[in-house]
Structure 1
Amino acid sequence: MKNVYLFGECMVELSRTSDGLLKQSYAGDVYNTAVYLKRAFNDFNVNFFTAVGEDPLSDEMVAAFEKENVNTDMVQRVRGKAPGLYMISVDNSGERSFSYWRNDSAARQIMQFVSAENVGYLCMGDLFFFSGISLAVITPNERDIFWQLLRKLKDSGVRIAFDPNYRARMWADKTEAKIQFERAFRMSDLVMPGIEELEQLYGFTEFSKIQDFCSAFGIEELVVKNGPESVCCIRDGELSEIDITPVETVVDTTSAGDSFNGVYLGARMSGIGVAESVQLAAAAAGEVIQHRGAIIPSQAFADKMGPLVEQHAVEK
């Protein structure tokens, strides 16, 4: 059984339903990735390493993890803290914007739980996944603890996967984000950025420029998501661009990249080829953006992805 650890934050999500009422659920980029990975590849042991509070919302959040069959052994409790919260606003084209209340969230205390025992568990994993948001949530004076952790994981043979997921408001400036991201690039075996964040940070708009830039970091597999148009994959220095089929009706783009990440990671760890993994991941994202909220109904996802995953598993 594959053993995956995902490191990040989950928050209380508020989104409007079609009748204008507010719906409460739980989401966050890395948690969303964990959910969709587990839904698509149920035989994986998917573990979420995060911190929550001891309040009722935290209790409900952990119950939501368990309902999704995401392992909670690495979920830590912080006395006197509570989860962060965000609200989604969606325009007529399905594009979303967010309002956040997370500056004092329990997840920001996660580094105090990097104990020898917990590091031992993480070192037994097959894959460790984190994001730029995971890094931004860590207080700056504790980031060195994270990099020491990552070094121990690499030395133990754990593969490292990273999605930059750049959110400008979470960083002091672009320079701070670049320093942290470039450390992540050097440490990661698999990097999964969106082209828009590389454009925001570095001004890159062409895959060839991205390839030249990333070649210095020794990344084994680079997967660049270009919205509904295509995905560019660079593996062992060879570039390929894979077209994807956009969906006709976009309701809410929240978690498009997260669902892509989860299914892509699961597919690659299952031995499915790069191009086929992209198509599976794009199909997952295409289904997710036809529903409101980050975590869509499990049956809708299963109806779409179950036959596709089974087909690719047979063909690989």
Structure 2
Amino acid sequence: MEELDVVTLGETMVLFSTHENLPLDYVHQFQKQVGGAESNVAIGLTRLGHRVGWISKLGEDPFGSYVNKFIRGEGVDTSRVTFTDAAPTAVYFKEKLSEENLNVYYYRKGSAASLLTAEDLDEDYIKKARFLHLTGITPALSEECRQAVDRAIDIARSNDVKVIFDPNIRYKLFGDLDAARETLLSIADKADVLLPGMDEGEFLTGETTPERICSALRKRSGQRIVIKLGAEGAYYQTSEGDGYVAGFPVEKVVDPVGAGDAFASGVISGLLDGKAIEEAVRQGNAMGAFVVQMNGDVEGVPTRRQLDALLNPKQAKQDVNR
């Protein structure tokens, strides 16, 4: 089996969105797309030339087939995706009331992905990766999914596979906030790289500044923590140092959903390429800036050439003029 740079696991859904600025009850036509935090990251990484595998469970239905074909078509290995006729593939809808007012409605309770179990994991598949990417969404889907995440972490840690964790908290999925905090902190303690947003960091630690959040979350000297700060960029902290990395200016935000996943792709890609943490974070900021300018979770994710042009505009201009 060919070795992979990253393996990730989680739920991907069919997304229905509209270009009309209307409440959903007045919308009559929708555009069908695909969205899911983990597969968004996987696609972002394949666009940058990395080898990625995605583990999930889909419904034995047309939507499940569509999701699998779409993600596989983006170059992600889906050979460890399983199908079930016991539950459907989940869907969600984006409601665009204005350029600044976007709502998301999920229909995922009892979905096929919530039936994913530890027994569905292939240990040999995970241990051949360099990184295991996880989010806090998967353990919130069901107790079986939580056990699958725990098992994946155990496999990774026993095989020197680095664990990357983006809390990506879905409060409604957890319901019990104390249980959510306990579950997410237990995963964070075992992770090598943490990628929380500012609000997630505050929820997990009770601290209100990026510096204090990182200090509260960092349990081991080798851990690297990056706090996402939206348009302002990000803050990172490691045992070797810390700092702020400015974001990239965006004239118009079209769709902010998926920006955090693109950011994660950029950071992970930088780490895979052996870049310093500051450069990896700068790359993540650039990826996020690309994605928010287009409709859809992954449609705006850049290729390596597009990313390099944003990171090094002078060099890109010279290349064009040759």
- TM-score, with structure 1 as normaliser: 0.89
* 2:299 matches 1:296: yes
Q: Secondary structure at the match of 1:146?
A: helix
- Give 1:193's aligned amino acid: P
Q: CA deviation at 1:162?
A: 0.3
Which runs of no fewer than 5 residues in structure 1 stay unpaired?
A: 312-316
Q: Over residues 23-76 of structure 1, what are the superposed CA-to-partner deviations in whole Å (9 max), with x where a residue is unaligned? A: 111111111111111112x1x211001111211111111110111011111111
CA distance in structure 1 between the partners assigned to 2:308 and 2:212 by the alignment? 37
Match of 2:185 in 1: 182
Matching residue within 88, 93, 107 for 2:94? 88
- Give 1:11's aligned amino acid: M
Matching residue within 5, 29, 34 for 1:26? 34
Q: Over residues 123-148 of structure 1, what are the superposed CA-to-partner deviations in whole Å (9 max), with x where a residue is unaligned? A: 111110010112112x2256345323
The worse-fitting range, judged by mean Cα deviation, of 73-82 and 7-16 is 73-82
Match of 2:18 in 1: 16
Q: CA deviation at 1:246?
A: 2.9
* 2:277 matches 1:271: no
Q: Secondary structure at the match of 1:231?
A: strand
Match of 2:264 in 1: 261
Distance 1:17 1:162, change over 3 A: same
Match of 1:284 in 2: 287
The worse-fitting range, judged by mean Cα deviation, of 21-30 and 271-280 is 271-280
- Give 1:189's aligned amino acid: D
Q: How does 1:125-144 map to 2 (within 5 A)?
A: 125-137=129-141, 139-140=142-143, 143-144=146-147
* 2:257 matches 1:249: no
Matching residue within 153, 157, 162 for 2:156? 153
Report if aligned partners of 1:185, 1:219 keep a CA contact under 8 Å in 2.
no
Q: Secondary structure at the match of 2:137?
A: helix
CA distance in structure 1 between the partners assigned to 2:35 and 2:146 by the alignment? 23
Q: Secondary structure at the match of 2:208?
A: coil
Greater relative contact order (Cα < 8 A, sep 6+): 1
Q: CA deviation at 1:4?
A: 1.0
* 2:169 matches 1:163: no
Match of 1:232 in 2: 235
Distance 1:215 1:59, change over 3 A: closer
CA distance in structure 2 between the partners assigned to 1:226 and 1:310 by the alignment? 22
Matching residue within 208, 213, 226 for 1:210? 213
Q: CA deviation at 1:259?
A: 0.5
Q: CA deviation at 1:2?
A: 4.7
Distance 1:108 1:212, change over 3 A: same
The worse-fitting range, judged by mean Cα deviation, of 154-163 and 264-273 is 264-273
CA distance in structure 2 between the partners assigned to 1:218 and 1:135 by the alignment? 26
Q: Over residues 214-268 of structure 1, what are the superposed CA-to-partner deviations in whole Å (9 max), with x where a residue is unaligned? A: 1336561001101111311111262211122331211110101000101210111
Match of 2:69 in 1: 63
The worse-fitting range, judged by mean Cα deviation, of 54-63 and 19-28 is 19-28
Report if aligned partners of 2:221, 2:238 keep a CA contact under 8 Å in 1.
no
The worse-fitting range, judged by mean Cα deviation, of 56-65 and 105-114 is 105-114
Match of 2:9 in 1: 7
What is the CA RMSD across the aligned residues, in angstroms?
A: 2.3
Report if aligned partners of 2:247, 2:282 keep a CA contact under 8 Å in 1.
yes
The worse-fitting range, judged by mean Cα deviation, of 289-298 and 4-13 is 289-298
Q: CA deviation at 1:6?
A: 0.7
- Give 1:30's aligned amino acid: E
Which runs of no fewer than 5 residues in structure 2 stay unpaired?
A: 22-26, 314-322
Q: CA deviation at 1:96?
A: 3.0
CA distance in structure 1 between the partners assigned to 2:221 and 2:305 by the alignment? 38
Report if aligned partners of 1:194, 1:226 keep a CA contact under 8 Å in 2.
yes
CA distance in structure 2 between the partners assigned to 1:155 and 1:15 by the alignment? 42
- TM-score, with structure 2 as normaliser: 0.87
- Give 2:198's aligned amino acid: I
